[in-house]
């Protein structure tokens, strides 16, 4: 995706999660209202993948 498009979405999503309307939608759906910048989100995904890898390994479902 071009950098201009990434910046568009990043900036607009960052604004969106600060609105009252988003807060109400998140509350109604039980969603986490967190917004992460790209590097932070990348780290989050890496950690989540490692967590799931451990869980799948523990229950014998990890394909290696």
pLDDT digit string (tens) for 15-50? 999 999 999 999 999 998 888 998 999 999 999 999
Q: How many domains does the chain have?
A: 1
- Domain-located, residue 10: yes
- Domain-located, residue 64: no
- Domain-located, residue 11: yes
The whole-angstrom separation of Cα 9 and Cα 16 is 10
> What pTM, to 2 d.p., does this model score?
0.64
SS3 38: helix
| Local confidence band at 62 (pLDDT 50, 70, 90 cut-offs) | confident
* b/e 43-54 (16+ beta carbons within 10 angstroms → b): eeeeeeeeeeee
- Domain-located, residue 19: yes
Full residue range of the structural domain in which residue 52 is found:
3-58
- Domain-located, residue 31: yes
């Amino acid at each position: 995706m071009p950098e201009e498009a990434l910046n568009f979405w990043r900036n607009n999503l960052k604004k969106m999660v600060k609105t009252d309307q988003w807060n109400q939608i998140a509350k109604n759906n039980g969603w986490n209202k967190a917004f992460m910048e790209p590097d932070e989100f990348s780290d989050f995904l890496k950690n989540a993948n490692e967590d799931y890898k451990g869980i799948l390994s523990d229950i014998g479902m990890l394909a290696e």
